[in-house]
Homo-oligomer: A and B are copies of this chain.
Amino acid sequence: MNKVIATIVCLFIVTACSPHAMIAPANQDIKVPTTNAAKNVILIIGDGMDDHQITIARNYLVGARGRMTLDTLPHRSIAQVLTVADTSAGEVVYVPDSANTATSMATGKVINRGRIGTTAGSDEDIASIVELAAKAGIRTGLVSTASVTDATPASFYAHISLRACENPSTMQNAILYGFLPVDCSPDLKANGGRGSIAEQLIDSQLDVALGGGMKHFQFNAEGGSQPLLDRAEQADFAVITSIDQLHTADMDKRWLGLFSPSTMPVRLRGENGRIAESPKPGADGAVIKPAPMSCEPEPKFAGVPDLRLLTDKALARLNHNNQRGFFLMIESASIDKQSHQRKPCGSIGEVEQLNEALDSALEFAEKNPQTLIIVTADHGQAAQLIPEVSIFDAYNVPINSPGKLARIRTSENALLVVNYATNDFMQAEHTGVTVPVLTNQQGVGRVPSMILQPELFNIMTDYLRL
């Protein structure tokens, strides 16, 4: 974004979060609530976690008659996702991406796909719940299994026209993945903008940012020779890169935890790394389906902090000597990313990680009752649970899926067939389905049974009295 909002300055929040500023400084920008009761909001986002993803995970993890923690939350709603084209007219678009949906939740505004925290067509910054909370002296944190600069977390603190501009190297005449041109030059600091997403994270008011994305902080800051990691330390961040460091990190510093170069490894994978595959033609018009497979631990996951641990630690840090409450967003990012790659075991493991993060949040809320927990998804994803035996089996003709499918053995001795058939590209598409919204008891009376996704922003800011 090429217009600086002067009222939000990095210096303020660094001061507010320094060891000697447990109580918010007497700054005239800070809204003092009328009661002293600290309130907390924990927003847990399963990226791409629509009801199909949850059903597939439930059947695999606990069986068709089982219940995950998220199934036991007392209150349920759905959110209609909203997207517009990148024009001033704001034409309706029915299928979103994570950038525009996370911006809906973070700011209450509807924007176009690919954009972060700025208006469609006019590229104006939109204040986020993180900024409003910090302004009110309320702490803020983000946890993600993606890079902390990826679209979902970025939407809570950054303002930029393209989600791809995650670090200084991507800002001008960049080519991503060998062929994808990316340019955010109007957002360069030199041009009056806020710089790349990684730079905006360092300049943000965040108290905690834990996830992947180390590679984005190894570039030099725009126009300088200083790596962003050094800049982060100057901005009072403790840079944390291992589980050990996470256990011993300074509770009076801001935390920047970077546990992998980009997206963090996932928990599960298909047997021997198998993913969904195309059925093959057999003799006499028959169809040879992919062989059944099991899910197995993903070896790369070993040694990586899981989402439960990151959540436990983020909650402890945010709640430490805190009289004013906090906002924490937790994202299980690779439900979506694994579904794009047609890896159902991967998505299942990441729903399980989300469910464990929810366990952590619920344990926290047990001790801190003024805590609103919301579990939701940003958008739908491609995976569909289709029959192992066609419902038209009695017709006795070969019946095939035109997509790619995986037949997963479950512990109840059945086959769970996951189909990806939204496109023939190397990555599956999102869908435009409504997404689930679940809350703890604090959400009852606050979240109607159906909402528009941007209304989550109002529900959360009202709860925090922002």
Measuring CB to CB, which residues of chain A are less than 8 angstroms from any residue of chain B?
50-52, 54-55, 58-59, 63-65, 67, 71-78, 80, 82, 91-95, 97, 113, 179-180, 380, 382, 384-392, 394-395, 397, 399-403, 410, 412-417, 419, 421-425, 427, 429-434, 436, 438, 448-450, 452
Partner of A434, one of B54, B394, B422: B54
29 contacts between A and B (CB under 8 A): A50-B51, A51-B434, A52-B433, A55-B434, A58-B80, A59-B432, A65-B452, A76-B78, A76-B449, A76-B450, A92-B410, A92-B413, A93-B389, A94-B416, A95-B391, A97-B391, A179-B395, A380-B385, A384-B384, A385-B433, A386-B422, A386-B431, A387-B432, A395-B425, A399-B424, A400-B424, A402-B423, A403-B403, A419-B421
A349 to B443, CA, bound (A): 34
Partner of A424, one of B64, B401, B413, B449: B401
Q: Tell me whether A55 and B92 are in contact in the complex, defined as CB-CB below 8 angstroms, given that A78-B76, A401-B423, A425-B392 are known contacts.
A: no
Q: Tell me whether A95 and B386 are in contact in the complex, defined as CB-CB below 8 angstroms, given that A401-B423, A421-B402, A424-B401 are known contacts.
A: yes
The answer to whether B95 and A429 have CB atoms under 8 Å apart is no
Partner of A385, one of B67, B92, B94, B399: B94
The answer to whether B417 and A401 have CB atoms under 8 Å apart is no
The answer to whether A412 and B92 have CB atoms under 8 Å apart is yes
The answer to whether A91 and B51 have CB atoms under 8 Å apart is no
- Please tell me how many copies of the chain the complex holds: 2
A396 to B385, CA, bound (A): 30
A50 to B434, CA, bound (A): 10
Q: Tell me whether A422 and B449 are in contact in the complex, defined as CB-CB below 8 angstroms, given that A92-B414, A386-B95, A412-B92 are known contacts.
A: no
Partner of A384, one of B55, B431, B438: B431
A72 to B450, CA, bound (A): 7
Residues of B within 8 A of A417 (CB): 94-95
- CB-nearest residue of chain B to A59: B94
Residues of B within 8 A of A387 (CB): 93-95, 429-430, 432
Residues of B within 8 A of A51 (CB): 50-51, 78, 433-434
Residue with the greatest number of chain B CB neighbours at <10 A, chosen from A388, A389, A397, A429: A429
A63 to B415, CA, bound (A): 38
The answer to whether B421 and A401 have CB atoms under 8 Å apart is yes
The answer to whether B434 and A438 have CB atoms under 8 Å apart is no
CB distance from A462 to the nearest CB of B (A): 19
A301 to B65, CA, bound (A): 41
Partner of A421, one of B394, B395, B422, B432: B422
Residues of B within 8 A of A414 (CB): 91-94
CB distance from A253 to the nearest CB of B (A): 38
Q: Tell me whether A423 and B399 are in contact in the complex, defined as CB-CB below 8 angstroms, given that A59-B94, A385-B433, A391-B113 are known contacts.
A: yes
A97 to B63, CA, bound (A): 19
The answer to whether B400 and A423 have CB atoms under 8 Å apart is yes
Residues of B within 8 A of A94 (CB): 59, 64, 385, 387-388, 414-417
- CB-nearest residue of chain B to A278: B402
